[in-house]
Amino acid sequence: MTLRSMAAAGVLLGMVAALISCSASSGGGRYVPAAASFAEIPKEAKITIEGPGRNPTLDRFVARFMVAQQVPNAQLAVSDAGGTTFSHAYTYRAIAKSTTTTATIMRLASNTKAWVDGALYVLIRAHKVDPKAKVFAYLGITKPLPKGAKVDKRVYDITIEDMILHESGWDDSKPPYYDPTFKMRQIALSLHLDKEVGQVDYVRYQLHEPLQEPPGTTYAYCNFCYTVLGMVIAKASGLSYSDYIAKNVAGPLGVKNVLPSPTVGKRRPDEVARYYSAYRGLSAVYVRSKDLYAYPYGGDDMALEVAGGAAALATSADSMLKFMNRYLIWGVGTPEPGADWAREGSMPGTNTWAEQLPNGKNYAFLVNTRQYVYGKNPNAFLTLQSDIEHYLDPGLDPTRARRYVE
């Protein structure tokens, strides 16, 4: 079922997508990937590769990217007409702290939102979530923090559907340029807490933030919305959002490794050993500490346990393929033949890409860093993505618009 057919059935209105143009063309309007050769890779840069399927071209694309951009661990998986044809795990042995296998899980960043959308699809179809419901009234969260703060009354008109569509009315690309996802330490200290802010208080604190647009009118990408939507899943199901996803979205697909990644502490079973970033900051978890923490471990002012449905899940590239064979990677619905849907996940220590191509091929690429050697190629990740997608679907129009969200 597509989004439009769901709308026709009165279940959910069609999604509004952000449109961007793809990479520039060459060769008379036909995209030609840059030549990839193992000759470009120094012999001392040992990249180990494991997993089923043989495709030297894809391996060269990934190995070249890993060496040039100093990427420790990576996975690339490809499916065609629902069947996995290629799944490789890559380890740059000179810098990696652990060996990547096809079973290794890595943080998804915003590709977490795809799994949240899948859960909402199941709940809406089962009439357990009404997308037209006013979201804060539904959750029973209507009193702002700090106490007595003034709230724009339109905030209480925001619906579950508005949040799915990124049409809440909050737009962090406009003054005051505020995304609470990366202000969690500040929020906790404003509330005089000694530890990370809880999800309910985090949401209450956002209520008084001014809207930049009327709800339901304007697309503006919003991390906060998906934290709230994770809470909607929990309210509707009686399970945590991650447990509901594991049982009702991942489980029927035969996937058992979609798990929330902890901000700090011991990694999950099969989780990559480390997320890489040279940047450090004050912790969103240990809010009274003056110590500096690496960005992927709370130093970026985000606690994954609070962000929840916005960014906290981890899984493998293989599992992302199984998801895309059943659900849209962007929005609430199921795959549409001939459509091109893509989603990027990006946060310190994580970069992910998942795409459903018009020719029926899907692919997912995961790495455990976002700190690239930008001087060599400021758009290295997107260059790799373009090389892969045009290799997998040579008939793509390089000037096309596609459905995309970060």
**In this structure, how many other beta carbons lie within 10 angstroms of the beta carbon of residue 35?**
9
H-helix or E-strand spanning residue 48: strand 47-50
Whether 157 shows a pLDDT value over 80: the answer reads yes
Q: Is residue 158 part of a domain?
A: no
pTM assigned to the model: 0.90
pLDDT for 337 equals: 85
Q: Look at residues 315, 336, 308, 310 and name the one whose alpha carbon lies nearest to residue 254.
A: 315
d(Cα 232, Cα 336) in Å, to the nearest integer? 26
Mean pLDDT (the chain) is 90
Binning the chain into helix, strand and coil, the percentages to the nearest 5 are 35, 15, 50
**Tokens 């459905």, residue located:** 403
Tens-digit pLDDT profile for residues 270-300: 999 999 999 999 999 999 999 999 999 999 9
Confidence of residue 42 (pLDDT cuts 50, 70, 90): low
Pick the range with the lowest mean pLDDT from 1-15, 93-107, 189-203, 236-250: 1-15
Query: Would you say 92 and 368 are in contact if contact means Cβ atoms under 8 Å apart?
Result: no
Burial class of residue 115 in the structure, from the number of CB atoms within 10 Å of its CB (0-12 exposed, 13-18 middle, 19+ buried) = buried
Share of the chain above pLDDT 70, in %: 87
The end-to-end CA distance of the chain, in Å, is 24
pLDDT for 339 equals: 87
Q: Is residue 345 part of a domain?
A: yes
Whether 30 shows a pLDDT value over 70: the answer reads no
Q: Per DSSP, which regions of 67-143 are E strands? A: 73-80, 83-92, 106-107
Buried-state track 46-81, b at ≥16 Cβ within 10 A, e below 16: ebeeebeeeeeebbbbbbbbbbbbbbbbbbbbbbee
Q: Bridge-partner residues for 77, per DSSP?
A: 87, 364
Residues 352, 274, 371, 189, Cα dihedral to 10°: 100
Whether 26 shows a pLDDT value over 70: the answer reads no
Question: H helices of 238-372, where?
Answer: 241-245, 304-307, 317-324
Q: Is residue 236 part of a domain?
A: no
Q: Is residue 270 part of a domain?
A: yes
- The type of residue at 99 is T
Q: Look at residues 85, 94, 204 and name the one whose alpha carbon lies nearest to residue 151.
A: 204
- Residue 371 structure tokens: 């700190």
Tens-digit pLDDT profile for residues 331-342: 999 998 888 999
pLDDT for 40 equals: 54
Is the preceding omega at residue 131 within 30 degrees of 0, hence cis?
Answer: no
**In this structure, how many other beta carbons lie within 10 angstroms of the beta carbon of residue 360?**
14
Q: Is residue 126 part of a domain?
A: no
d(Cα 219, Cα 20) in Å, to the nearest integer? 14
Q: Is residue 250 part of a domain?
A: no
345 three-class SS: strand
The residue-averaged pLDDT of 117-122 equals 99
Whether 213 shows a pLDDT value over 90: the answer reads yes
d(Cα 115, Cα 106) in Å, to the nearest integer? 15
Whether 13 shows a pLDDT value over 70: the answer reads no
Tens-digit pLDDT profile for residues 244-273: 999 999 999 999 999 999 999 999 989 999
- Residue 382 structure tokens: 């997107």
Pick the range with the lowest mean pLDDT from 11-20, 121-130, 200-209, 363-372: 11-20
Q: Is residue 170 part of a domain?
A: no
Burial class of residue 152 in the structure, from the number of CB atoms within 10 Å of its CB (0-12 exposed, 13-18 middle, 19+ buried) = middle
Q: Is residue 129 part of a domain?
A: no
Domain total in the chain: 1
Whether 18 shows a pLDDT value over 50: the answer reads no
d(Cα 87, Cα 89) in Å, to the nearest integer? 7
Parent domain of 12: 3-110+257-278+309-405
pLDDT for 402 equals: 57
The residue-averaged pLDDT of 227-231 equals 99
